[in-house]
Amino acid sequence: MMTPEEFEFANKHEPVMRVSHSVDKETKKRFYEIYNRLTGEDKRPNGCGRCFTNVVRLIKHYYDNYQKI
Residue 21 has pLDDT above 90, yes or no: no
Task: Parse the chain into domains and list their residue ranges.
Answer: 4-68
Q: What is the mean pLDDT of the chain?
A: 91
The answer to whether residues 24 and 45 touch, using CB atoms and an 8 Å cutoff, is no
Q: What is the predicted pLDDT for the residue at 25?
A: 93
Please report which confidence band the pLDDT of residue 36 belongs to, taking 50, 70 and 90 as the band edges.
very high
45-to-15, 18, 26, 50 alpha-carbon distances in Å = 19, 20, 10, 11
* Residues sharing a CB contact under 8 Å with residue 18, sequence separation 6 or more, in sequence order: none
